[in-house]
Chains A and B, each alone.
Chain A
Amino acid sequence: MRDAIAPDLVQVDGLKMYFPVYSGVLRRHSGDIKAVDDVSFTIRAGETLGLVGESGCGKSTLGRAMLRLYDPTAGRVVIDGEDIARLSPEALRKKRPTMQMVFQDPQASLNPRMSLSSIIGEPLVEHTVLTTAQRQDRIYELMDQVGLNRRFANRFPHEFSGGQRQRIGIARALALNPKFIVCDEPIAALDVSIQAQVVNLLEDLQDKLGLTYLFISHDLSMVRHIADRVAVMYLGRIVELSPRDDLYARPLHPYAEALLSAVNEPNPERARTRSRILLKGDLPSPANPPKGCNFCTRCPKVFDRCLTEKPALVQVEPGRKVACHLFQTLKPTAGSTGGFHTQDDFQQGVTL
C-alpha cells in the first residue's frame, strides 16, 4: 500500500564507528573496537527496516551513530537531505526534531523525578516556542495518540507498568513530529502480552503519521511482523539485507540461515522434526576480528577464500544483498560495501 518507489529518507554510506582502546603505562592507542565497520544501506520514507543480530554485533551502536549520539569515525549519514555526520553542533540541534529514538529500557530512559507531562513536554520546551497552554494541549494530544489516560499527566514513571512506560517514551519521541525514529529494542524488556500492544501502537503511528523506522531487535519473529526489509548484522558488518518475505523464506547468508534456524517456534512437532544449524563457539571479539570474513570462525560453509578476504555486500538477486563469497563467484563489483545503489533499491521497490 505504501508507495513502491518512495524516495530514500535515510542513506548510510560507509559508516564506521570505532572505539579506541588504550593500553600500557603510557595509555597508547593500541587498537580499536570495530563496533560498526563500513556499513551502507538506505531506508525509504515510510519504510520499516529491521536490524537483527546477536548482542555485541553492533546494532545498537549503529542506531546511535546514525543519530549522532556517537560521533562516527567515518562515513556519511544522510537523513532527509543533510549529512548529519558533518553538521555543526548548532545545525545538528536544529536537525534533532526530525530524528528521534525509543530506547530499550523505559525504566532507565525516563527521569524518575520528572512527571509524565514534563517528560513529554521537555522536547517542546527545548525546540519550540509554544505557550504553556499550547504545550499542555500538545502533551494531551500526544498522550491520546499513544493511549495514555490524560488523568496520568502529573504522575511519575514509577507509577506505571513497563508497557505504559514504553508508551511514555514513544510519546516523547513523537513530540516534535519526527520523520525518522530509531527503535532500539523497544519491546525486549516487556512481557509477551504487552509486546504485542506496543508493536501495534508503533504500526498505527506509522500509518497515521507516515513515520520511518529503524527497528533494532534480536527477536526475529517480531521483526518478521513489523519490518518491510531486514538487515542482518554480524560483528559490525551487515551480512545480508533482504526484503522480509525473501529473507524468511530463503535466507542466503549462512549466518542468516543459522540465526533463523535457531529461533524456537511455538510448535512442538516442528521442534521435534526440524534440523537446527548449531553454530560452534561464540562471537569473536570486535577488537580483533578475523582477517577474512568476520563469520569464518563459525561458518559451517567456510572455504579458503573466506579466511583471507572480506566479502563485500553486493546485490545477488533483485533487492537482495549478501556479503558472502559463496554468492560472489562472478566478478566482484564495488570494492567495498560503499555506494548508494540507488538503482538497486528502485528495482527492489518494483519487485515488491
Chain B
Amino acid sequence: MADEAAPVLDVRGLTTVFHTRQGEIHAVNAVSFALKRGEVLGVVGESGSGKSVTMMSLVGLLPTPPAEVRAGQVMLGTRDLLQMSAKDLSDVRGAKVGFVFQDPMTSLNPVFTVENQICEPLTRHMGLSKAEARARSIELLELVGIPDAAKRVKYYPHQFSGGMRQRVMIAIALACEPDLLIADEPTTALDVTIQAQILELMKYLQKKLGMAIIWITHDLGVIAGIADRVMVMYGGQVVEHAPVDQIFHNPQHPYTRALLRTIPTITGKREARLSVIEGQPPIMAQAPKACPFGARCVQHFARCDAENPQRRPLDSLPLGQGHDVACHWSAGVSDA
C-alpha cells in the first residue's frame, strides 16, 4: 500500500434492482461509501433495508437475473469490480475480499472436512502446495482461537458448535489475507456469551491484520462496540452516515433517532413504555420519488412527499467522511 490514506474500497452511486413478476423492486438506490485500510464500517438497517443486497452487489454474488446492478462504480484499489469479467471477479472473491455470513452451518459444506475447506482458497488463490496449505490451515485455526487445532482440522462442520463454526468461517475468510472483510450479521445466530467471544476475536484480528471490515447488522449494541463509522440504511438508501460517537450521541435523521429510542438497555433509566416507530417498512416498487421514511416519520412535512432527500454533509468534511444525512428536516435544522 503506497498511499495509506487512499480508500481500500470506494463505492459510488450503486443501484441494484430485482426483476420480479410483480415488477421491479428497487433494493439499492444510489448508495455511496468509502472505506480506508484498517477501518470498520458498521451498516445498520432493518431486514429489507438493502444492507445485505448492497454488499452482495459489490462482488457479484447476486444471481442475475433476477438481480441487475443498474448503475454505479465499485473501486477496489484501482479496479472497478462492476466492469470485471466473472472469472476475474471470482479471483477477487476470497483473495481480496473475504466473507463471513450469518449462519455458519449453511455456509460451510457439510460433506468436506474443515481442512479441505480452508485449503481450497489457499491453493486456488495463493498458489500454495497441498502440504503448505495444510500447515497454513492449522495456523489459521489457531489464529481464530480453536484449541487443539492440529486434530480438529480433520473434523467435519457438524462436529463443531455454533461459535466454533463461526470461527472456522472467519479462518476461511482470512485465509488469503484479504484487504476487505465483509461480515454479514456474523454474530446474529449466536448466543450472547458466544457473541461476546466472536466480537473480541474480530477486534483482535482486525488490529493484528489491519484489514478493512464492513460489518452488517441490525443490532445497534454490536455496532457501538466494533464500528469506527456507521452507515444507517432505510428503504435501500443511506439515510445517515457518521462516526460512531456521532450516531449514538448526535443522531440527525428521524429514523436513526427513533431506532435508538426503541431499543431498551440494561443500564440507565428503564422506560415505563417503549417508544415505537409506527407502521411498516416500505417495499420499494419504484425508483423513490419521495423520502422512503416519510410515511413513518414524526417530522414529516410537504417537501418529504415531493422530493427524495439527498445526502448532504453536516460538517466541512466531504460526503462519506464526516457526518452526513439525507433528510429535508435535519437539513433545515442545520441551516438555521
Binding site for B on A (CB under 8 A): 54-55, 161, 163, 191-197, 199-200, 203, 218, 220-222, 224-225, 245, 248, 258-271, 276, 278-279, 282-283
Q: Is the CB of A263 within 8 A of B271?
A: no
B200: chain A residues at CB < 8 Å are: 276, 278
Instruction: Produce 1/0 per residue, B84-124, CB < 8 A to A.
Output: 00000000000000000000000000000000000000000
Q: Which of B278-330 contact A (CB under 8 A)?
A: 278, 280-281
B223: chain A residues at CB < 8 Å are: 266
| 11 pairs from A and B in contact (CB 8 Å cutoff) | A192-B218, A193-B46, A193-B276, A196-B277, A197-B276, A200-B273, A221-B263, A224-B270, A248-B267, A261-B196, A268-B225
Q: Is the CB of B266 within 8 A of A262?
A: no
Q: Is the CB of B248 within 8 A of A268?
A: yes
Extra contacts besides A193-B276, A200-B274, A224-B264 (9): CB < 8 Å: A196-B275, A221-B266, A224-B265, A225-B274, A263-B192, A267-B224, A276-B200, A278-B196, A282-B161
The size of the chain B interface, using a CB distance under 8 A, is 46
Nearest A residue to B274 by beta-carbon distance? A196
Q: Is the CB of A218 within 8 A of B191?
A: yes
B64: chain A residues at CB < 8 Å are: none
Q: Which of B156-213 contact A (CB under 8 A)?
A: 161-164, 191-197, 199-200
Q: Is the CB of A218 within 8 A of B273?
A: no
Q: Is the CB of B264 within 8 A of A193?
A: no
Q: Is the CB of B161 within 8 A of A276?
A: no
Q: Is the CB of B280 within 8 A of A163?
A: yes
Q: How far is the CB of B242 from chain A (nearest CB, A)?
A: 11
Would A266 and B191 be within 8 Å (CB), given that A193-B258, A282-B163 are in contact? no
B262: chain A residues at CB < 8 Å are: 192-193, 195-196
Bound-state Cα–Cα, A218 to B195, Å? 12
Q: Which of A55, A161, A193 contacts B277 (CB 8 A)?
A: A193
Would A265 and B265 be within 8 Å (CB), given that A161-B280, A193-B276 are in contact? yes
Binding site for A on B (CB under 8 A): 46-47, 161-164, 191-197, 199-200, 218-226, 244-245, 248, 258-260, 262-267, 270-271, 273-278, 280-281
Nearest B residue to A189 by beta-carbon distance? B47
Q: How far is the CB of B83 from chain A (nearest CB, A)?
A: 35
Q: Is the CB of A268 within 8 A of B244?
A: yes
B163: chain A residues at CB < 8 Å are: 282
Chain A CB within 10 Å, residue with most, of B193, B273, B274, B276: B193
A276: chain B residues at CB < 8 Å are: 196, 200
Bound-state Cα–Cα, A225 to B268, Å? 12
Bound-state Cα–Cα, A278 to B196, Å? 7
Bound-state Cα–Cα, A211 to B274, Å? 19
B191: chain A residues at CB < 8 Å are: 54-55, 218, 283
B219: chain A residues at CB < 8 Å are: 264
Q: How far is the CB of B38 from chain A (nearest CB, A)?
A: 17
Main secondary structure of the interface of A (DSSP, over half): helix
Q: Which of A225, A261, A270 contacts B271 (CB 8 A)?
A: A225
Q: Which of B245, B271, B280 contacts A268 (CB 8 A)?
A: B245
B199: chain A residues at CB < 8 Å are: 264
Bound-state Cα–Cα, A161 to B276, Å? 16
Q: How far is the CB of A224 from chain B (nearest CB, A)?
A: 5
B258: chain A residues at CB < 8 Å are: 193
Nearest A residue to B243 by beta-carbon distance? A268
Bound-state Cα–Cα, A211 to B192, Å? 29
Nearest B residue to A164 by beta-carbon distance? B280
Nearest B residue to A191 by beta-carbon distance? B46
Q: How far is the CB of B309 from chain A (nearest CB, A)?
A: 20
Q: Is the CB of A265 within 8 A of B47?
A: no
Nearest A residue to B245 by beta-carbon distance? A268
Nearest A residue to B260 by beta-carbon distance? A266
Q: How far is the CB of A217 from chain B (nearest CB, A)?
A: 11
Q: Is the CB of B218 within 8 A of A264?
A: no
Q: Is the CB of A265 within 8 A of B276?
A: no
Q: Is the CB of A191 within 8 A of B47?
A: yes
Bound-state Cα–Cα, A310 to B55, Å? 49
Q: Is the CB of A225 within 8 A of B264?
A: yes
Would A191 and B281 be within 8 Å (CB), given that A200-B274, A200-B276 are in contact? yes
Bound-state Cα–Cα, A197 to B195, Å? 26
A283: chain B residues at CB < 8 Å are: 161, 191
Q: Is the CB of B276 within 8 A of A222?
A: no
Q: Is the CB of B193 within 8 A of A193?
A: no
Q: Is the CB of B46 within 8 A of A260?
A: no
